[in-house]
Structure 1
Amino acid sequence: MVRAAGDGIKKSSAARDWMGPIVVNTTGFCASLMKDRNYLWYLGVQRIQPMHSTSPLTQWVLPTMPVLLDSVALTATDKISPMIQLTWTSLVLSPLDIKHDSFIYVMLQPILLALCALSGIVLLTSINRYRARMAKLNAIPTIGHAGFFLSYMSAYEFLRNANDIIQEGYNCYPNSVFKVPLLDRWLVVISGTSMIEDIRRATDEQLSLVEAAKDMLHTDTFLGKSTLDDPDLGGFIQTALTRKISLKASEVHDEIVGAFEDEIPETPDWIKVPTLSKVLNIVCRASNRLFVGLPLCRDEEWKTLNIEYTRMISSSFQVTNLFPKFIQPIVKWYLNPRPVAYACAFKHLQPIILDRLEKMKAHGKEWEGPDDLLTWIMKDADGNREMLDPEELIGKILFMNMVAINTTSSAFTHALLNLALRLELIQPLRDEAERAIQDEGWTKAAMGKMRMMDSFLMESQRMSGSPPVHIHRMPVHDFTFSNGTVLPAGTVVMTCVRAIHLDDDNYPNASKFDSLRSYKKRRMEGESLKHQMVTPQPDYLSFGIGKHACPGRFFAVSLLKFLLSHVLLHYDIKLDEGEKPKANVFGARLNADAKTQVMFKRRSV
Structure 2
Amino acid sequence: MDYLQKISQSTPIHNAVQLIHRLPVAHKLEDFYRRASRNELIFVGAATFLTIYNLKAYINSKRRKLNLPPAVPYGLPLLGHTLYLMISPFKFVDWCNKNYGEIYDISLLGKTVTVTSKKCAEETFKAESTDLSLTEGIVNDMLHLNYLFTDREMILSSKANAVVVKAVLTSQRVPLLIPTIQEGLERGAHVLLNQDGPTIVKKPSIFLQNYVAYMSVGSLIGEEVAKETEVIKSFAEFTGDIIGNVSYFVFLPKFLHSYILPFLQTSYKHHHVMEKYVMPMIAERREKLRLAKEAGQEHELSRDFLQCLAEYVYMDEEGNPTLFTEKELAHNVLMVAFAAVHTTSTNLSYCIYWLIARPDLKEKLLDEINRVTPGKTRVTHDDLLNMPFLNNFVRESLRQSVDRLAVQKKVMHDYTYYNGYQVPKGRMIHTTTRQMNFGETSGRSSIEDMDPDMSMNKPCATPARDFLTFGMGKHLCPGRFFAIQEIMMSLVYLLKHYDIDTVSGKKPHPVSSIGNITVTNCEEPLVFTPKN
| TM-score between both structures, scaled by the size of structure 2 | 0.76
The equivalent residue for 1:120 is none
Q: In structure 2, do the counterparts of structure 1 residues 588 and 598 end up closer, same or farther at CA, with 3 Å as the change threshold?
A: same
- Whether contact under 8 Å (1:245, 1:444) holds in the other structure is no
Instruction: Supply the distance in 2 between the matched residues of 1:603 and 1:133 (Cα, whole angstroms).
Output: 66
The equivalent residue for 1:231 is 159
1:258 matched to 2:161? The reply is: no
Deviations 1:318-360 (A, max 9, x none): 3112112333454457644553331232122222222222222
Of 127, 140, 147, the residue aligned with 1:202 is: 127
Deviations 1:5-60 (A, max 9, x none): xxxxxxxxxxxxxxxxxxxxxxxxxxxxxxxxxxxxxxxxxxxxxxxxxxxxxxxx
Which residue identity does 2:206 align to in structure 1? S
Which residue identity does 1:326 align to in structure 2? F
1:558 matched to 2:491? The reply is: no
Where in structure 1 are there 5+ consecutive unaligned residues? 1-124, 523-530
SS at match of 1:181: strand
The equivalent residue for 1:410 is 346
Moved more, 162-171 or 349-358: 162-171
The equivalent residue for 1:455 is 392
Instruction: Supply the distance in 1 between the matched residues of 2:517 and 2:331 (Cα, whole angstroms).
Output: 26
The equivalent residue for 1:369 is 301
SS at match of 2:88: helix
The equivalent residue for 1:395 is 331
1:303 matched to 2:232? The reply is: yes
Moved more, 504-513 or 310-319: 504-513
Alignment of 1:8-47 (within 5 A): none
1:140 matched to 2:76? The reply is: no
Instruction: Supply the distance in 1 between the matched residues of 2:276 and 2:252 (Cα, whole angstroms).
Output: 34
- Whether contact under 8 Å (2:241, 2:267) holds in the other structure is no
| Alpha-carbon offset, residue 561 of structure 1 | 0.5
- Whether contact under 8 Å (1:476, 1:490) holds in the other structure is yes
Which protein, 1 or 2, shows the higher relative CO under an 8 Å CA cutoff with sep ≥ 6?
Answer: 2
Aligned length: 460
Q: In structure 2, do the counterparts of structure 1 residues 367 and 405 end up closer, same or farther at CA, with 3 Å as the change threshold?
A: same
Q: In structure 2, do the counterparts of structure 1 residues 230 and 570 end up closer, same or farther at CA, with 3 Å as the change threshold?
A: same
| Alpha-carbon offset, residue 142 of structure 1 | 4.7
- The structure number with the bigger radius of gyration is 1
- Whether contact under 8 Å (2:413, 2:424) holds in the other structure is yes
Deviations 1:238-271 (A, max 9, x none): 331234422221121122112112212344x654
1:339 matched to 2:268? The reply is: yes
| Alpha-carbon offset, residue 187 of structure 1 | 1.9
Of 85, 89, 114, the residue aligned with 1:188 is: 114
| Alpha-carbon offset, residue 176 of structure 1 | 2.0
Which residue identity does 2:178 align to in structure 1? A
Of 278, 281, 290, the residue aligned with 1:349 is: 278
- Whether contact under 8 Å (2:137, 2:408) holds in the other structure is yes
The equivalent residue for 2:464 is 537
| Alpha-carbon offset, residue 132 of structure 1 | 2.5
The equivalent residue for 2:52 is none
Which residue identity does 1:179 align to in structure 2? D
- Whether contact under 8 Å (2:415, 2:422) holds in the other structure is yes
- Whether contact under 8 Å (1:346, 1:394) holds in the other structure is yes
Alignment of 1:136-535 (within 5 A): 139-142=70-73, 144-145=75-76, 150=77, 152-154=78-80, 157=83, 162=86, 164-165=88-89, 167-174=91-98, 175-183=101-109, 185-190=111-116, 192-213=117-138, 214-225=140-151, 226-227=153-154, 230-242=158-170, 243-267=172-196, 270-274=198-202, 275-331=204-260, 335-364=264-293, 366-369=298-301, 372-381=304-313, 386-437=322-373, 442-463=379-400, 465-501=401-437, 503-505=439-441, 512-519=448-455, 521-522=456-457, 531-535=458-462
| Alpha-carbon offset, residue 509 of structure 1 | 8.9
Q: In structure 2, do the counterparts of structure 1 residues 319 and 327 end up closer, same or farther at CA, with 3 Å as the change threshold?
A: same
| Alpha-carbon offset, residue 407 of structure 1 | 0.8
Q: In structure 2, do the counterparts of structure 1 residues 385 and 331 end up closer, same or farther at CA, with 3 Å as the change threshold?
A: farther
Moved more, 547-556 or 581-590: 581-590
Moved more, 446-455 or 201-210: 201-210
Instruction: Supply the distance in 2 between the matched residues of 1:322 and 1:584 (Cα, whole angstroms).
Output: 17
| Alpha-carbon offset, residue 291 of structure 1 | 1.5
- Whether contact under 8 Å (2:234, 2:270) holds in the other structure is yes
Instruction: Supply the distance in 2 between the matched residues of 1:141 and 1:552 (Cα, whole angstroms).
Output: 37
Which residue identity does 2:462 align to in structure 1? T
SS at match of 2:362: helix
RMSD: 3.4
- Whether contact under 8 Å (2:408, 2:430) holds in the other structure is yes
- Give me the identity figure in percent: 21
The equivalent residue for 1:578 is 506
Instruction: Supply the distance in 2 between the matched residues of 1:320 and 1:126 (Cα, whole angstroms).
Output: 19
More helix by share: 2
| Alpha-carbon offset, residue 436 of structure 1 | 4.1
| Alpha-carbon offset, residue 170 of structure 1 | 3.2
SS at match of 1:433: helix
1:131 matched to 2:69? The reply is: no
Which residue identity does 1:194 align to in structure 2? K
| Alpha-carbon offset, residue 579 of structure 1 | 5.2
Instruction: Supply the distance in 2 between the matched residues of 1:363 and 1:428 (Cα, whole angstroms).
Output: 53
| TM-score between both structures, scaled by the size of structure 1 | 0.67
Q: In structure 2, do the counterparts of structure 1 residues 201 and 509 end up closer, same or farther at CA, with 3 Å as the change threshold?
A: same
